[in-house]
Structure 1
Amino acid sequence: MSRPGSPVCTPDWLALREPADHTARACDLADRLADRLGAWPGARDVVVRDLGCGTGSMGRWLAPRLARPQRWVLQDRDADLARRAAAATPVPATAVVGDLADLDTLAGTDVLVCSALLDLLTAPDVERLARLCADAGCAALLTLSVTGAVALDPVDPLDDDVTAAFDAHQRRDGLLGPDAPDVAAAAFARHGYAVHRGPSPWRLGPADAALAEEWLRGRVDAACAQEPALVGSAERFLARRLDALGAGGLHAEVGHADLLALPGTVR
């Protein structure tokens, strides 16, 4: 785990995954959100808060899709990432340092967005996030939460063991891991939201070799941290997978889900 004030993910990793993230996100949910915002009377700015913004990938993807004047608040517990994100957002943006624990209110926010964040939260965290959104009456677009569904081609005898250990690692200490999409959908529904869900899988092939390698290495490291007895066999598993990747013969589909939660009234 990273320390408070440090990035959960390094800038290099965020840059490496950004193209795959942009391709994977559920465009139909973004279009539905844009339609909802387009129905607002008047032409005031939409205020979007990106929680756990990283380097601002979400803003670069979503802002051009929202056909209204916008102002973004880029919030991350790492000050440097928040500043970088604000500088790289294609609409007026402000950097804010902090995470969910520092967020007391979403008053003045029209849309709360996040990317690859929910699986790093606990069920009480997600319930609090849903309540903050409901108190403010804001919409929420929550993208790229892992589902635990991973398909590697070709298959390997150790696939299931690595998956089980990795998923257990994601659920350590009460974190939601692959349970996040279901828990978040239920939390927002309890607060009166209409929740729309869409798949947003990474589909990695030979053209994504650098990302696939880092993903594989991180996956195996986490699995071994969870189940030390796997270390020897997992090292051989990783070597086989990297050999296949280097030969252009490995494909992976990594399951994610996007959620759009809309409040009951048009603002």
Structure 2
Amino acid sequence: MTVDLPADFADWLALREPADAAARAADLADAVRHRVTGGPLTVHDLGSGTGSMARWLAPLLPGPQHWILHDQDADLLARAAAAVPGAAADGAPVTVTTRRGDLTRLTAADLADADLVTASALLDMLTAEEVDRLVAACAGRRTLFALSVTGRVALTPADPLDAEVAAAFNAHQRRRVGGRTLLGPDAADAAAAAFARHGVDVLTRPSPWRLGPEQAALATAWFTGWLAAAREQRPDLAEATRAYADRRRAELAAGELRVLVDHRDLLAGG
């Protein structure tokens, strides 16, 4: 799998990092921490981007840690390597190496030394077949997949067009691109079912973004992308949502709009 990333993708990752950190299910991180012995821990982070998962999770876990960051994009990996988490929960060192490659082609052998496998905002970009292969590679390892979109969005105050735009956006998330049919909002359920087929227990938790006036920049960027994707899926919405877009942007600028974007976190193998 090769995905062409927009030129400003690293900026988008930086903008969303605080909201991601606030949204991730802390009790699943606690479950991982309670099972860590404090000895050297090897973590493989898949689709690491600029390394936000490592920066969030490494300080919550005790003992020396070595993170292996996987991504297809060399620039993102370089940024991640330059922003290594400072230290583990008990002050132990945290080190990082990077690996560039196709995440959907990873095998159990590639992850053989992993004590933990992590990913964030990855599954919904994959197909059913790719999720099955990824789960097969991870099935023998404790795995934490965070921030998979569920398709549920709530804007407050509500508008009659919200549901129509959300439906078009979700259809866009499930679109067929380059011969691949993406799972989009169905990805977390597909991953949980795949782990179950391997006999692996799974815990899931909600991990929603809750965006208000304090996150206005992120809410505005999210809304712009959300509406653009919906219009791409349904070009007829371009005219129908012109006044809607103006109203919503004005509400965002005035600090009057709150946005909930639902996600789901998944911990497999306890």
Q: Shared fold by TM > 0.5?
A: yes
2:60 is aligned with 1:65: yes
Quote the offset at 1:25 in angstroms.
0.3
Deviation of 1:101 after TM superposition, in Å, equals: 3.1
**Cα gap change, 1:191 to 1:7, in 2 (>3 Å):** farther
One of 102, 115, 119 as aligned partner of 1:99: 102
The Cα shift of 1:99 comes to: 2.7
Match of residue 143 from structure 1:
146
For 1:3 and 1:239, the matched residues in 2 are separated by 35
Aligned CA distance change for structure 1 residues 84 and 209 (closer, same or farther; 3 Å)? same
User: Aligned letter for 1:17?
Assistant: R
8 A contact 2:71–2:103 mirrored in 1:
no
* Runs of 4+ in structure 1 over 4 Å off: 2-9
How many corresponding residue pairs? 256
Partner of residue 10, structure 2: 11
Contact 1:7 1:81 in 2 (8 A): no
- Report percent identity of matched pairs: 56
Report the CA distance between 1:68 and its aligned residue: 2.3
Separation of aligned partners in 2, 1:231 and 1:81: 33
| Alignment RMSD (CA, Å) | 1.7
Q: In 1, Cα distance between the equivalents of 2:72 and 2:4?
A: 5
Structure 2 unaligned spans of 5+? 86-93
Write the deviation string for residues 108-158 of structure 1: whole angstroms up to 9, x where unpaired. Answer: 112111100000011111111111112xx2111000000111110011111
Work out whether residues 41 and 65 of structure 2, in 8 Å CA contact, stay in contact via their aligned partners in 1: yes
Q: Give how far 1:24 is off.
A: 0.4
2:226 aligned with 1:219: yes
Displacement of 1:166 in angstroms is 0.2
**1:179 aligned partner:** 186
Secondary structure at 2:66's aligned position in 1? strand
CA deviation after TM superposition for structure 1 residue 192, in Å:
1.6
Query: Is the aligned partner of 1:240 residue 2:247?
Result: yes
Give the secondary structure class of the aligned counterpart of 1:108: coil
CA shift, 1:102, in A, is 4.0
Q: Is the 8 A contact 2:104 2:133 kept in 1?
A: no
1:47 pairs with 2:42: yes
Q: Secondary structure at the match of 2:35?
A: helix
Deviation at 1:19, TM superposition (A): 0.4
Identify which of 179, 197, 204 aligns with 1:197. 204
Displacement after TM superposition at 1:252 (Å): 0.7
Supply the distance in 2 between the matched residues of 1:11 and 1:181 (Cα, whole angstroms).
24
Deviation at 1:80, TM superposition (A): 1.4
Q: List per-residue Cα deviations over 1:168-200 (Å, max 9, x = no partner).
A: 000012211111111111111111211001110
Kept in 2, the 8 Å contact 1:151–1:253? The answer is yes
- Cα offsets for 1:13-56 (capped at 9, x unmatched): 00000000000000000000111123xxxx54111011110110
Q: Which amino acid aligns with 2:96?
A: A
Structure 1 residues 161 and 53: CA distance shift in structure 2, 3 A: same
CA deviations on 1:37-78 (whole Å, 9 max, x unpaired) are: 23xxxx541110111101100000000111122100011101
Distance 2:190 2:8 in 1: 23
Amino acid at match of 2:220: E
Matched residue SS, 1:208: helix
Aligned residue for 1:37? 36
Decide whether the 8 Å contact of 1:51 with 1:76 is kept in 2. Answer: yes
For the 8 Å contact 1:205–1:252, the answer to whether it is kept is: yes
What residue number does 1:126 align with?
131
Q: 5+ unaligned residues in a row in structure 1: which ranges?
A: none
* Separation in 2, partners of 1:9, 1:200: 25
Q: How do 1:152-167 and structure 2 match up within 5 A?
A: 152-167=155-170
Which residue number corresponds to residue 111 of structure 1?
116
Tell me, yes or no, if structure 1 residue 20 matches structure 2 residue 23: no
- Taking a change above 3 Å as real, the CA distance of residues 147 and 210 of structure 1, as seen in their structure-2 partners, is same
CA distance in 2, matches of 1:70, 1:210: 34
Secondary structure (helix, strand or coil) at the match of 1:17 reads helix
1:88 maps to 83
Q: Given the two structures, how large is their TM-score scaled by the length of structure 2?
A: 0.90
Contact 1:7–1:54 under 8 Å retained in 2 = no
